[in-house]
Amino acid sequence: MFNPLLPDLSTLKNDDVDNKITELMQKYFIASRFGQSGVMQQISVILQVYKDEQSRRQQEANKKLIQNRNQDLDEFIKIDR
């Protein structure tokens, strides 16, 4: 999802993204206690954007980890043909 009112999330640190997700979840639960379904829906959309960014970063980190692991194994295993 994309929201033009949000800042560029790729410039934020991982901790900032995590903190924002926590903050938005707290606001969501407050809105739910007061029965503010419109506010809940808006927070939910923004929360999903932050979660998508967090997921994208985790996938990218996993991809780098797998690539590094494969390179390390190539150094240990030498096959002569």
Instruction: Indicate whether 9 belongs to any domain.
Output: no
pLDDT at 71 over 70: no
Instruction: Indicate whether 39 belongs to any domain.
Output: yes
Instruction: Indicate whether 4 belongs to any domain.
Output: no
What total number of domains does the chain contain? 1
- The more confidently predicted of residues 80 and 34 is 34
Distance from C-alpha of 50 to C-alpha of 18, rounded to nearest angstrom: 8
Distance from C-alpha of 26 to C-alpha of 33, rounded to nearest angstrom: 11
> Which pLDDT does position 72 carry in this prediction?
60
Contact 1, 52 (CB under 8 A): yes
Name, in order, each residue with C-beta under 8 angstroms of 28's C-beta and a sequence gap of 6 or more: 40, 43, 44, 47
> Which pLDDT does position 35 carry in this prediction?
95
Count Cβ neighbours within 10 Å for each residue of 33-53 and write b for 16 or more, e otherwise.
eeeeeeebeebeebbebbeeb
Instruction: Indicate whether 81 belongs to any domain.
Output: no
- The more confidently predicted of residues 50 and 74 is 50
> Which pLDDT does position 70 carry in this prediction?
66
Instruction: Indicate whether 18 belongs to any domain.
Output: yes
Q: 62 lies in which domain range?
A: 14-76
